[in-house]
Structure 1
Amino acid sequence: MGETGREEYKIQSFDSETQKLLKTALKDPSSVDLDKVANIIVDQSLKDCVFSKEAGRICYTIIQVNNMPMMALVNPVYDCLFRLAQPDSLRKEEEVDCLVLQLHRIGEQLEKMNSQRMDELFSLLRDGFLLQEGLSSLSQLLLLEIIEFRAADWKMTDAAQKYYYSEVTD
């Protein structure tokens, strides 16, 4: 199997009607009920945490098509992020990585849409970083990095870039 194109997503677990809806949403978001699409994505993400990463990619693509406003997706995306910020998820590096990746991609835009929910999410992340037992070193590093990233107005300072990414490559 060769390299998949940018437009290929892992949606095979859905029935054919849902796959068609998702494919349509990815190509022309204005032609579908985005609330329905968002609910499908959130429901699947809550059932299958591995799908959360794919859900983030799908939502990101839908948002980017035609520079469409993402208001219909804000709360469902926040719901997924809040799920990934729960103590049981923070103990799993893959889920912390997914959470941080999505916040890097769309955190700034989400905050502009609903800053109160972002404050609540980061309160959970700070508590998780400071109080959660059983976090791996990598999870702690990722959480600290995203907390600093937001504190720096969603930008990575040179010093932070050097610190976090020299640690990973060394």
Structure 2
Amino acid sequence: MVMGEPRREEYKIQSFDAATQQLLKTALKDPGAVDLEKVANVIVDHSLQDCVFSKEAGRMCYAIIQAESKQAGQSVFRRGLLNRLQQEYQAREQLRARSLRGWVCYVTFICNIFDYLRVNNMPMMALVNPVYDCLFRLAQPDSLSKEEEVDCLVLQLHRVGEQLEKMNGQRMDELFVLIRDGFLLPTCLSSLAQLLLLEIIEFRAAGWKTTPAAHKYYYSEVSD
């Protein structure tokens, strides 16, 4: 980071109103001075509305958790965050029915949190099945007919697929059965959705890595 540049967490705060910006900046610097449960709710609410923010909010959450731990040795923020994630998870079908964009933002956010939050340097076990359940929902036929959801599924598997497989390989096998079935029975898949599904199948088969040949093929196809 160049001297004088804002930290990435602070840069992302610019999308909030002035009062909320101040709340989040204080949470990052002096977490004991603010209502951390309110902070958790603000971050979740904004993540469900702003898909760009939902992709990066995990970094901010991690920074607040670290700051709170150093200052007070407590986990009020993490507890509030996980409670909200659970509430939204339990109402995920209603969320999807109400707002496809909000649902995609939620899946992006929970995967982002799973990617960043650690307990003893390991991913949080409490999030493994909820994340899997969300990805399974994205792999259902009615979701595979929507490019937004296919794109979300593939992006999140690129991000956390390898970690998830280490935590529960059997569920990843089951998820990829659904994905392969969806690819092989393309009754309502767009050509882009088919391409994305094939790419993620090959990505996992290559040990969660993209070979140079695959990268050239898929990304030239997508750009075309």
TM-score by structure 2 length?
0.62
Whether 1:97 aligns to 2:144 is: no
Q: Which moved more, 1:141-150 or 1:34-43?
A: 34-43
Structure 2: tracts of 5 or more residues without a match:
1-9, 17-35, 45-57, 67-74
**2:128 touches 2:164 (CA, 8 Å); kept in 1?**
yes
User: How many angstroms apart in 1 are the aligned matches of 2:15 and 2:149?
Assistant: 19
Q: Tell whether 2:90 aligns with 1:43.
A: yes
Counting matched residue pairs gives 161
1:28 aligned residue (48, 65, 86): 65
CA RMSD of the aligned region, Å?
3.0
- Which of 1 and 2 has higher RCO (CA within 8 Å, sep 6+)? 1
2:217 is the alignment partner of 1:163: yes
In structure 1, list runs of 5 or more residues that go unmatched.
Answer: 11-16
* 1:83 aligns to 2:134 (yes or no): no
Mapped to 1, the partners of 2:140 and 2:124 lie a distance apart of 24
Deviation at 1:65, TM superposition (A): 4.1
User: Residues 1-50 of structure 1, C-alpha deviation per residue, up to 9 Å, x if partnerless?
Assistant: xxx9446899xxxxxx9764344992329441675344224235432332
**What one-letter code is carried by the residue in structure 2 that aligns with 1:91?**
S
Residues 37 and 81 of structure 2 are in contact (CA less than 8 Å); yes or no, is this contact kept in structure 1? no
Equivalents in 2 of 1:18, 1:161: separation in Å? Answer: 43
SS of corresponding position for 1:28? helix
Matched, 1:59 2:110: yes
Rg larger for: 2
Aligned to 1:143: 197
Contact 1:34 1:72 (8 Å CA) reproduced: no
- For 2:161, give the aligned amino acid: G
